Amino acid sequence: MKTKIAVANGDGIGPEIMDAVLNIFKAANVQLEYDFVEMGKSYFDAGHSTGMTEQAKATIENLGILFKGPMETPKGKGVKSINVTARKVWNTYANQRDFRTLNGVDTVFSKAGMDINLTIIRENIEDTYGGIEHMLTNDVAVGRRIITRPGSAQVIRYAFEMAKRKGLKKLACGHKANIMKLTDGMFLEIFYQIAKEYPQIEVSDIIVDDLCMKLVSRPEMFEAIVLTNLQGDIVSDLCAGLVGGLGFAPSANIGDNISIFEAVHGTAPDIAGRGIANPTALLLSGISMLRFLGLTENAATIENSLLYTLEQGVHTGDFGDRSTQSVNTQGFADAIIANLGKVPANGSVVAQPNFETRKPVTRPAQNKITDTNPDITKEIQGVDIFVETTLQPAEIAEVAKSKLNDKFKLVMISNRGTQVWPTGSIFTELVNQSRIRYEKTDGTTLTPRDVFAIAAELSDSIRVCSTELLTIFDGKPGYSLAQGQ
Residues 61-100 that bind ligand NAD (CB under 6 A): 70-73, 83
To ligand NAD, the closest distance from the beta carbon of 72 in angstroms equals 4
User: Under a CB-based contact definition with an 8 Å cutoff, are residues 145 and 441 in contact?
Assistant: no
Among 270, 371, 442, 460, binds ligand NAD (CB under 6 A): 270
**Stretch of 258-266, 295-303, 370-378, 435-443 contacting ligand NAD, by CB under 6 A:** 258-266
To ligand NAD, the closest distance from the beta carbon of 246 in angstroms equals 5
DSSP per residue, 305-348: HHHHHHHTT---TTSS-TTS----HHHHHHHHHHTTT---SSS-
**Stretch of 25-33, 48-56, 162-170, 265-273 contacting ligand NAD, by CB under 6 A:** 265-273
137 Cβ contact list (under 8 Å, min separation 6): 388, 431, 432, 433, 465
To ligand NAD, the closest distance from the beta carbon of 92 in angstroms equals 12
Interaction of residue 246 with ligand NAD, rule CB under 6 A: yes
Size of the site for ligand NAD (CB under 6 A): 20
Site string for ligand NAD, 285-324 (x = CB under 6 A): ---------------------------------x------
Complex with ligand NAD: residue 41 or 435, whichever CB lies closer: 41
481 sits in which H/E element = none
Residues 144-203 that bind ligand NAD (CB under 6 A): none
Nearest residue (beta carbon) to ligand NAD:
266
Complex with ligand NAD: residue 71 or 397, whichever CB lies closer: 71
Length of the chain: 485
| Closest alpha carbon to 8 in 32, 41, 46 | 41
**Stretch of 216-224, 266-274, 302-310, 384-392 contacting ligand NAD, by CB under 6 A:** 266-274
Interaction of residue 269 with ligand NAD, rule CB under 6 A: yes
Complex with ligand NAD: residue 95 or 296, whichever CB lies closer: 95
User: Under a CB-based contact definition with an 8 Å cutoff, are residues 383 and 399 in contact?
Assistant: no
Among 20, 260, 268, 446, binds ligand NAD (CB under 6 A): 268
To ligand NAD, the closest distance from the beta carbon of 128 in angstroms equals 17
DSSP conformational letter for 477: E
Chain Cα centroid distance, residue 109: 26
Interaction of residue 277 with ligand NAD, rule CB under 6 A: yes
Interaction of residue 205 with ligand NAD, rule CB under 6 A: no
40 sits in which H/E element = none
Interaction of residue 265 with ligand NAD, rule CB under 6 A: yes
Complex with ligand NAD: residue 277 or 482, whichever CB lies closer: 277
Could you tell me where the DSSP H helices lie in 264-422?
280-292, 296-311, 329-338, 393-402
Strand partners, 117: 100
Among 266, 331, 353, 484, binds ligand NAD (CB under 6 A): 266
Q: How far apart are CA 462 and CA 456, in angstroms?
A: 10
Q: What 3-state class would DSSP assign to 52?
A: strand
User: Count of alpha carbons within 13 Å of 100, Cβ hemisphere only?
Assistant: 13
Could you tell me where the DSSP H helices lie in 9-127?
14-27, 41-45, 54-63, 82-89, 108-111
Interaction of residue 353 with ligand NAD, rule CB under 6 A: no
Q: State the residues that interact with ligand NAD by CB under 6 A.
A: 13, 70-73, 83, 246-247, 262, 265-271, 277-278, 281, 318
